[in-house]
Amino acid sequence: MIRFENVGKDFRKIRVLDGVELEIGLGERIALIGSNGAGKTTLIRCLLGEYTHQGKVTIDGQQPRAERTQVLGKVGFVPQLPPPLKMPVGQLVTFAAAVCGSDSQRIYAVARRLGLEVAPIMARPFNRLSGGMKQKLLIAIALGRDAQVLVMDEPAANLDPEARHIFFSLLAERLENTTMIISSHRLDEVAPLVNRVVEMDTGRIVLDDRVVEDAKLSALFQVHLTLARADAAIAKTLIAWQFADRGQGLEWHGTVSGPDRLRFMGTVSRYVGLLSRIEMKEVDAAVVLQ
Amino acid sequence: MNSLLLTARLDIVESLRARWFLLYSLVFGGIVALLFAFGLTESRVLGFIGLSRLLVTYIQLTMAILPIFVLITTVRSVAGDREAGVFEYLLSLPVSLSAWFWGKILGRYVTIFLPVFVAMFGAVLWAQFKAIEVPWEMFFYYTGLLAAMAWCFLGIGMLISTLARSTDVAQGAAFIVWLSMLLFLDLILLGVMIQGRVAPEVAVGIALLNPLQVFRTASLAMFDPQLIVLGPSAYVILDLFGSAGFRVYALLYPLAIGSLAALVGFLTFRRSDLP
């Protein structure tokens, strides 16, 4: 489906991409990881036809630069940093829906599922929205159309736990017929979302490996924590994860998305000295969300 | 609606919300209001009185302000958008580069021409309301002249935005372009001629390649068809074009310059890295 053939890119004699060879099939979910300057963003921009480059990039045999409208019509993109657009939300959605051959209502429906009601903010400039609202809207624009390829740069970074879970569920609905490339600095942020990891360093692919994950993207886990003593720092962290205090700061209950388990465990591990019990059990997501 | 019109509409909506547009509109609306407030329609210069006097003053002031305004705001917003990551996102959507580039120019053209025109048209409406005679021929020619001037500097602004990779460089380049044209209006040309290094025809020829000089001369030609105020240079211009011919040249030449600059800008944009 997507092919990078000996792709190279220089910026003022600095080699940023160096002979990248990569083939990605339909339905694959790639974690594109690497430190700053590894070449992830440059590779994504070559895929989006935004950079000129050496070598060849194709999606279904078509080149994104030469056949922009046909190729980009199949690609949904969520950037890491939301663009500082001054246009009203309604205008942005109308424009995106029109050029993508989609329907504004479909985008609003996805936004609503992510917890963003668009009607009250239609006239508000996009750059005046909060970080989370911007991210939800950009995700809604990318998912509110028939994209065969989703390219996302740290897509869930600004989302609250509930929106993250819904986002993962939305991705789960597209597993069969969508290829996903998710870029991140850290593997633990995206590992549960993907089935293949590609690591880049100094413009080259240094690792290309498979990921085994039995839990579904839409899975939900009920978590019960017991603390040895109440502590303000862990309480603040758990409240941020939308956990409820069931016993004077000692007993905490909440739910964690399947793909967020690793991230949650990493967060809680900072307070391991305070933990006297931790229980995690998969539950029916449909029942819990009601 | 096709991608070009959608992009144009997007740029218009963005511009209407920008501070530069508010300032820009206030400046041109304010000029007309001040000219009326100070009773310029009652004053007489070179035999001109009424709305003709106001329009002549308005176009002279516009020629001083519009080019630098258009250049700086165009290069700032386009290069600024690229730097801020707006291009990275919007150009990931399936819109062709030609629709994007020309749509942006079209949208920007509407936003820079409309306030200038509306201010002048407002003056005409007010004159009709006050039963002041409207010099329609002058109004239509000046409208054409303003349209050509706006297009000329918009094209140059888009070319600079495409070539410059940062807002600072783009702004600096725009300022140098404007300053060079300004200096070639009189100062440098006069110096060159005084030193006697070039023939007067060559100096006048260089002046006629300068869009600012062309606008200035054309606006003078409306109330001074023999271009007496220009002195001996008038002979070269009138021998070369004739009075009516020069007025046509003053419309077509800046349009050609603007179109050529925009076309080179587009070809460069299409071949270069977009964000």
- The ranges assigned to domains in chain A are 2-74+148-210, 220-289
**Alpha-carbon distance A107 to B116, whole Å?**
39
Amino acid at A232: A
Report the 3 state secondary structure along B120-185.
Answer: HHHHHHHHHHCCCCCCHHHHHHHHHHHHHHHHHHHHHHHHHHHHCCCHHHHHHHHHHHHHHHHHCC
Query: Which residue among B1, B14, B94 places its CB closest to the CB of A100?
Result: B94
- Mutation choice for A interface testing from B3, B9, B13, B86 by most A CBs within 10 A: B13
Based on DSSP, count helices (H) and strands (E) in chain A, helices before strands. 10, 13
The ipTM is 0.78
Mean of per-residue pLDDT scores for chain B: 84
Q: Which position has the higher pLDDT, B50 or B166? A: B166
Please report the pLDDT score of residue B95 as a whole number.
Answer: 92
**Within this chain, domains A2-74+148-210 and A220-289 share the same CATH topology:** no
Per-residue model confidence (pLDDT) at position B194: 63
Task: Give φ, ψ of A76 to 5 degrees.
Answer: -105, 135
Identify the pLDDT of residue B45: 59
The number of distinct structural domains making up chain B is: 1
Query: Whole-model pTM?
Result: 0.81
A77/B92 Cβ within 8 A: yes
Put simply, the answer to whether B88 touches A45 (Cβ < 8 Å) is yes
CATH 3.30.70 fits A220-289, yes or no: yes
Which pLDDT value is given to residue A142?
Answer: 93
Each residue's pLDDT tens digit, B182-221: 887 765 666 666 666 777 777 777 778 889 888 888 887 7
Closest CA to B254 of B222, B203, B227, B219: B219
Residues 22-81 of A with CB under 8 A from B: 45, 48, 50-52, 68-73, 75, 77, 79, 81
Write out chain B residues lying below 8 Å of A88, CB-based: 13
Q: What average pLDDT does range B53-73 have in this prediction?
A: 85
The more confident residue out of B223 and B129 is B129
Return the number of CB contacts < 8 Å for A and B: 83
B-facing residues of A in 82-111 (CB < 8 A) are 82-88, 91, 95-96, 98-101
Task: Mutate one of A57, A68, A72, A139 to test the B interface: name it (highest B CB count within 10 A).
Answer: A68
What pLDDT is attached to residue A80?
82
A97: distance to nearest CA of chain B, Å?
A: 10
CA dihedral A236, A241, A243, A248 (to 10 degrees): -10
Q: Per-10-residue mean pLDDT for chain A, 290 residues long?
A: 93 90 91 88 93 93 91 91 89 92 92 91 92 92 91 81 83 84 78 84 90 71 91 91 89 87 84 90 66
> pLDDT value at position A290?
46
Q: What pLDDT is recorded for position B233?
A: 67
Reported confidence tier of residue B40, pLDDT bands at 50, 70, 90: low
Nearest to A99 among B6, B17, B271 (CB): B6
User: B231 is in which domain, residue-wise?
Assistant: 3-271
What is the pLDDT confidence band of residue B170, given thresholds at 50, 70 and 90? very high
Confidence at residue B1, expressed as pLDDT on a 0 to 100 scale: 61
* Residues of chain B in Cβ contact (below 8 Å) with chain A: 1, 3, 6, 9-10, 13-14, 17-18, 84-97, 271-275
* Residue B264 pLDDT > 50: yes
CATH number for A2-74+148-210 (one of 3.40.50.300, 1.20.140.10, 3.50.50.60, 3.10.129.10): it is 3.40.50.300
Span B219-229, pLDDT tens digits: 877 777 777 76
